[in-house]
Amino acid sequence: MLIRALRSINEQTVIPKQVVVIDDNSDLPLDKNFFDIFSNLQVDYIYNVQSIGGSATRNLGLKKANTNYVSFLDDDDAWSPDYLRNVKLVADSIGDRPAGFYSSKTFVLSNSLQHVLKKNIANRHVVLEDLLCGNIIGGTSSVTLNRLALERVNGFDENLPALQDYDFWLALALAGVSFYPSENSHMIYTINVNHGQISSNFNNHIRASQIIKSKLLGRIPTKSCAKLHASLDYSVAKAVHRRNYIKSLPMIFRMLVKHRRAKGVLLLIPYHAMNFFGIYST
């Protein structure tokens, strides 16, 4: 999948000045000559001799980056050819202010990369109050941050077992950073049909949800806390629903009664039954 991700960068209509590839202790390090096939790219390859986890790996990438803008891309995702060009157009229109930029998303399955399940179009300016209602931004592969935004926070929380991207967007928004849509940029998000992604470990989601609630206690208004709790409880219920339908039911009913979150009703359908009808949790 790494080849697919790098190819999508190599084929950009605006080529990035620097590409940092961090290998978090895969079975074998890549030979430096591997990157020669991506002739448009200046690649800095770093191999972690011990796995340090997703958050620490991204923080290492941020330290190595020497550009005014930083875009993230996981190895199982990809970008449309005009992704960076369209992000640049939006960034140029914003000017010198702390800002993040998020793209539209195209969802595909890992066993059928050419079949598009659905698309989510980025079309709204996102601030803290919006993020308290849920992770509207999405995962890291759809986000670019300027240097002014990055200087306001201390990177990803390396102690958080899940939801690190959502926690990071919240931290940025609390620091006064707004997120602007790059509607014509498309990140191609790959749903792993084997459910092997780290984000599917529901115990991690439960712990992460509790940590985020504690971190924001006293930092946001009481009314906003209710929105955040509803959002996090939904994320946890969705994560458990993917892996263990029976265990998810008490959480789903509690969420429906406590938060009256209508879209949670869909979680009453077993996940594999949803898959049969082409519905996958993202």
For the stretch 18-22, contacts whose Cβ atoms lie closer than 8 Å and that sit 24 or more positions apart, written own/partner, are 18/42, 18/44, 18/65, 18/66, 18/67, 19/43, 19/44, 20/44, 20/46, 20/61, 20/64, 20/65, 21/45, 21/46, 22/46, 22/48, 22/57, 22/60, 22/61, 22/64
Whether 131 and 208 map to the same domain: the answer is no
CA 239 remoteness from chain centre: 15
Q: How much is the pLDDT for 115? A: 86
Whether 133 and 203 map to the same domain: the answer is no
Q: How much is the pLDDT for 48? A: 97
Structure tokens at 14: 């605006």
Whether 80 and 208 map to the same domain: the answer is no
The residue among 191, 212, 237 that closes a domain is 191
Q: How much is the pLDDT for 197? A: 46
Distance (Å, whole) CA 73 – CA 63: 16
- For residue range 165-220, list pLDDT tens digits in order: 999 999 999 999 999 999 999 999 998 876 544 445 789 999 999 999 999 999 99
Whether 58 and 170 map to the same domain: the answer is yes
Range of the domain at 147: 2-191
Q: How much is the pLDDT for 195? A: 52
Does residue 281 fall inside a structural domain? no
* Domain total in the chain: 2
The residue among 172, 191, 210 that closes a domain is 191
Q: How many helices (H) does the chain have, and how many strands (E)?
A: 10, 8
Distance (Å, whole) CA 105 – CA 121: 6
Does residue 96 fall inside a structural domain? yes
Q: How much is the pLDDT for 262? A: 82
Q: How much is the pLDDT for 196? A: 47
Does residue 282 fall inside a structural domain? no
Whether 147 and 202 map to the same domain: the answer is no
Whether 23 and 148 map to the same domain: the answer is yes
Q: What SS3 state is found at 31? A: coil
Structure tokens at 256: 């429906």
β partners of residue 184: none
What is the residue-level pLDDT of the chain in tens, covering all 282 positions? 899 999 999 999 999 999 999 999 999 999 989 999 999 999 999 999 999 999 999 999 999 999 999 999 999 999 999 999 999 999 999 999 999 999 999 999 988 888 898 999 999 999 999 999 999 999 999 999 999 999 999 999 999 999 999 999 999 999 999 999 999 999 999 988 765 444 457 899 999 999 999 999 999 998 899 999 999 999 999 999 988 999 999 999 999 999 887 888 999 999 889 887 677 766
The residue among 136, 164, 191 that closes a domain is 191
Does residue 260 fall inside a structural domain? yes
Q: How much is the pLDDT for 198? A: 45
Buried b (16+ CB within 10 A) or exposed e, 50-86: eeebbbbbbbbbeeebeeebbbbbbbbbbbbebbbbb
- What CATH number has the domain bearing residue 36? 3.90.550.10
Q: How much is the pLDDT for 81? A: 98
Whether 48 and 149 map to the same domain: the answer is yes
User: Kindly report the CA angle at 104 between 213 and 252, in degrees rounded to 5?
Assistant: 40
